[in-house]
Every structure is written in C-alpha cells, then in structure tokens.
C-alpha cells in the first residue's frame, strides 16, 4: 500500500538562484546525508515526538477470498494428481475385472462344495462384496481391494475356505503371493490378483443360497452370524452408511485421498502400529464434509485440521445426531471414533499414549501450516513432506523378522504386526515413547528373507532398554497359541538399539530434509521437547 508523504515548498514561486560567499566553518565536516530507504522501515528509532506513518490493513473482499480459495483448490488437486494417488481409467477397469472374476470363482467353489457333500448344488451360491477404500471410491493405484467372500453354511472356514478355496485360487494363473492369516481377529487370505493386492476375509451365512440372502441383507439371516463374520459385514454396512450421509461424494473422495497421502507421508497410516486405519480417516473426513456441505476441497482440508487439532479428546467423533455413547474397548479410549451404525460401535484401534501423542502433534502441525488463508499461492509440499525420522530421534529400536521361506515370512510378518501393540505398551511401561515407522525395509546382509522395522525412541525418564528381556516378554504374546508355535516354528525376531546413521538410506534421506517451517508457523513446536532423547 502506497504511503502519502508531505512535500514542502511550491513550484509556483520558485526563488531565483543566489550566489553566496564561502563561509569558513570550524570543526569536522558534517556527516553525509542518509540515503532514502524503501518502504516504511527507517534506520533506527525516530526522533522524539515524530510519528511514523502506519499501514492500515484492508479487509479482503468476498471476491478476493473466493478467488484465493479456488486457486488453492486447483493447486491441491494438481498436487495430488502429480503425486500419483488418483487411479487412471484403465486401473479402475482392472479392479472391476478382479472383483468380477473373484465373484465367478467363489460361485464355482460353493457349487463344488455342495456337490461333494450331496447338497442342493443347483441352488448353492456364494458372492463377494467390496468394502474399505475401494467401495468408497477413494483408493489409489497402489491400494489393495478389500473383498468379502460370502459363503453358504455348508462351507466351513478352516477346511473349505482355507484349504479348498485356497487350492482353487493357487491354480489360477492370475493369483500370486497367496498366504493365509488364520489367527487374526478377522481370518483372511491375502494375495495378488493380476498384480493387485486383495484382502479376502470370509463370512459364512446360515443358508445355502448365500448370494440371494446377502443381496437383501436379510436381518433374520444376519442376526445368526458369528463375531468375526459380523465384523466384516458391519464394514460393508458402514461404507454404505457413509456414502448416504456424505452430501457431496466427489469432494469426500478427494478429501479422503488427501488425508491418506498426508498420513502415509507423515508415518500415520498403519493401524497395527497404533495409527490410523482407512475407516478412521473416512469417518473423520465424512464428519467435516457433513458439516460444511458447500465448502471447497481446500476449505475442507483446512477445516479438517482446524476441527481435530482442537478436538476435546476423548469425546467421541460420531456421524450420528445426536452422538451416542457406549463403553469403549481397549485401544479406543484415547481417540474414540464411532461407526455410523445401530447399535453404536467404536472403530477398532491400537492407539497407545505415544502414538496418540504423535497423531495430535501432526494434526497441530497441519493446522499451523494451513490456517493462513491470505494467499492464493500455497506450497502443498510442506504439508505432505516425508517425516524426517533420522533428524528427529537419536536412537531407534531395530526389529528384524526373518523366516527361511518367503511364504512363511509373509505369514510371520502379518502375525507379529497384529501383536505389535503389546510391544508398544511394554516400552511405554518402561518410560519410553515410540514413533514406529510403518515402512518395511529389507536387510540384504541377512541370508534369510526378512523385514526390518525402525521405531524412533523418546526417553521420558532415565532408563535403559535390555533388548533381550524386551524380546522375551514380547514373545509371550506372540507364541500364545498353536498358530505362533507351529505354523511359524522356524521364524525368528531380533531386536537391537541403533543410531540414525544405521538407518537405511531410504529412511535417512528424509532426515536431510529441513523442516524449517514457513513464517506463519514459526511459533509451532513440531514435537514436544520435554522428552529426553538419549543416544
């Protein structure tokens, strides 16, 4: 904004030039004149009694605000498109074919099982339902597909699903890297179908014509479904409920994609390590979209961080009005998020005090970065910058999972990750907060197939970690049933404490990224500095 400066004198009556006789001046010569300064800043304090001109802030017009919002929305959509998280039309068609082919396979499987048992194979049927990010339309090119297999009462989980159907899948040329996770809360098979990762749990209905019963979601049938199967079906129903509650599905899908990219870049995307699952982010995104139906994608993202950086946890987040209350199970008391279903349930969670602390810190960081809306030009790479583990922590817990064969390693990693929450709680009981990096590395100096994890450690009090006793205590929760003792009898875990220089290059490279924040968030502390990080 220009400033008006008063100028003395007038051009109308200009005095004639006069010649003065030189005057003898005693003492040192006068100092040179001070050169004019640009803007409103002066070199040093003003003379006494002199008031400096002051800028008067002018409010933005509505047109200017709308213009800046549109510019930031366009740049955000371009950013996530350049990040490669929006699937192409060809990728969408590939996934549709995967789901369609799986539906044909399980239909043949149900009729085969019925024929072998002498049942009515001509009416026996099975089907598949999708849920998760694929069903919500917010998946990326690298996302898996959650496909629920619905079978008849004659098809048992242990034999017909994990043996007969597995053999049928293994005989298909499109299927690769198939392994079973039988001891999880929701037993499932995991495999790649034409290169796309598929999570394949099973629901057994108390009817022989499963496809017809599930098509209508017959309540008389569903009320007799067991616990794990009901959990899978509730995921399908929750997806359907979310799509009905969200006023603008396209904006919701873009917002959810942004949140998934943010969570992945900042190390918050693995629910087995105490962070977000896809359903958590979906409900939080739907909560913002419902309350601001006309907001742009830029404004929705700003409101997401504003809302949940200041959320009064442990007040539950609920899409239902009014919010309902129920007793939260273990892992849901710190950050309770309600499923939009009747009766009310909590999203299952493995959050601990240390992972909850990081989630809150990252929400505050996101709010600090996005709260200034006075500029149309915004650098989204700040918000989605990779988390610099190597620069943040001075020591790490290195966890190596190994097995003699790749197939056994896949089962072993899935099983141990489902028990990681016990290890987090044990470390917290010793006075150590953890920030587990969800990425999985490989140590090529080890002969056996292996997966390596690195957990950043923050010491809250003077303590020493004995990795030997830590492993011994953790293995009690790993080898607590037949699955851990027999199926992975030749697998192993090793633990050690390492420094930043012992991180893999792909992890340490993020540490050279300087997290010097922009000017408007200089007062924001990215992490609490009260913890005594020890090397």
Tell me what pLDDT residue 233 has.
Answer: 78
Give the C-alpha separation, 208 to 199, whole Å: 24
Kindly report, residue by residue over 163-183, the tens digit of the pLDDT.
999 999 999 999 998 988 787
Taking the chain (535 residues) in runs of 10, the rounded mean pLDDT of each run is 38 41 46 44 54 60 89 95 91 95 97 93 92 90 90 93 96 92 81 94 89 70 63 80 94 96 95 93 97 96 97 91 62 86 82 96 96 85 93 95 89 88 95 95 94 95 90 87 63 94 79 53 42 38
Give the C-alpha separation, 397 to 434, whole Å: 9
Contact yes or no for 355/285 (Cβ under 8 A): no
Tell me what pLDDT residue 408 has.
Answer: 85
Q: What are phi and psi of 319, to 5 degrees?
A: -85, -10
Tell me what pLDDT residue 176 has.
Answer: 94
As beta bridge partners, residue 145 has 198
165 DSSP assignment: I
Tell me what pLDDT residue 523 has.
Answer: 43
Find how far residue 295's CA is from the centre of its chain: 22
CB atoms within 10 A of CB 256: 24
Tell me what pLDDT residue 213 has.
Answer: 81
User: CA dist 114 to 90, 160, 184, 303, 518, Å?
Assistant: 37, 11, 27, 53, 65
First to last CA, the chain: 52
Give the C-alpha separation, 458 to 451, whole Å: 23
Q: What are phi and psi of 250, to 5 degrees?
A: -65, -45
Query: Is the C-alpha dihedral spanning 131, 137, 138, 141 positive or negative?
Result: positive
Give the C-alpha separation, 77 to 71, whole Å: 10
Contact yes or no for 136/243 (Cβ under 8 A): yes
């Amino acid at each position: 904004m220009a400033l008006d400066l008063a100028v003395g004198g007038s051009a109308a009556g200009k005095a004639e030039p006069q010649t003065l006789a030189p005057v003898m001046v005693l003492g040192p010569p006068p100092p040179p004149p001070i050169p004019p300064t640009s803007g409103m800043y002066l070199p040093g304090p003003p003379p006494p009694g002199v008031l400096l001109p002051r800028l008067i802030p002018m409010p933005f017009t509505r047109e200017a605000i709308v213009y800046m919002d549109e510019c930031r929305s366009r740049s955000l959509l371009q950013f996530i498109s350049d990040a490669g998280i929006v699937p192409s039309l060809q990728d969408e068609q590939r996934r549709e074919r995967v789901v369609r082919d799986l539906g044909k396979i399980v239909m043949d499987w149900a009729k085969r099982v019925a024929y072998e048992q002498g049942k009515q194979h001509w009416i026996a049927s099975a089907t598949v339902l999708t849920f998760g990010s694929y069903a919500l339309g917010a998946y990326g090119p690298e996302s898996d597909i959650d496909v629920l297999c619905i079978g008849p009462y004659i098809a048992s989980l242990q034999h017909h699903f994990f043996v007969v159907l597995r053999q049928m899948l293994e005989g298909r040329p499109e299927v690769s890297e198939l392994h079973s996770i039988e001891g999880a809360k929701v037993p499932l098979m995991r495999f790649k179908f034409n290169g796309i990762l598929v999570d394949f749990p099973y629901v057994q209905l108390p009817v022989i014509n499963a496809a017809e019963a599930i098509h209508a979601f017959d309540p008389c049938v569903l009320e007799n479904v067991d616990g794990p199967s009901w959990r899978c079906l509730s995921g399908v129903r929750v997806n359907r409920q979310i799509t009905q509650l969200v006023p603008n599905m396209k904006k919701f899908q873009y917002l959810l994609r942004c949140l998934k990219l943010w969570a992945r870049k900042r190390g918050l995307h693995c629910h087995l390590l105490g962070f977000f699952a896809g359903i958590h982010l979906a409900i939080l995104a739907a909560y913002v979209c419902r309350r601001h139906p006309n907001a742009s994608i830029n404004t929705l993202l700003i409101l997401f961080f504003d809302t949940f950086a200041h959320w009064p946890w442990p007040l539950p987040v609920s899409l239902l009005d009014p919010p309902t209350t129920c007793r939260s199970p273990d892992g849901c008391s710190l950050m309770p998020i309600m499923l939009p279903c009747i009766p009310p349930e909590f999203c299952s969670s493995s959050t601990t005090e240390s992972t909850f602390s990081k989630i809150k810190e990252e929400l505050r960081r996101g709010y600090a970065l996005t709260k200034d809306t006075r500029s149309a030009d915004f650098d989204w790479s700040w918000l989605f910058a990779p988390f610099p583990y190597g620069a943040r922590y001075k020591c790490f817990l290195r966890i190596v999972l190994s097995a003699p064969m790749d197939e056994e390693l896949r089962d072993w990693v899935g099983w141990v990750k489902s028990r990681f929450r016990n290890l987090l709680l044990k470390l917290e009981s010793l006075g150590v907060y953890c920030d587990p990096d969800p990425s999985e590395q490989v140590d090529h100096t080890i002969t056996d197939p292996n997966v390596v994890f690195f957990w950043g450690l923050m010491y809250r009090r003077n303590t020493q970690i004995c990795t030997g006793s830590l492993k011994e205590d953790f293995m009690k929760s790993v080898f607590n049933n037949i699955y851990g003792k027999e199926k992975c009898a030749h697998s192993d875990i090793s633990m050690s404490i390492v420094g930043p220089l012992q991180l893999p290059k792909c992890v340490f490279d993020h540490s050279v990224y300087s997290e010097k924040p922009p000017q408007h968030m200089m007062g924001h502390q990215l992490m609490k500095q009260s913890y005594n990080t020890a090397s």
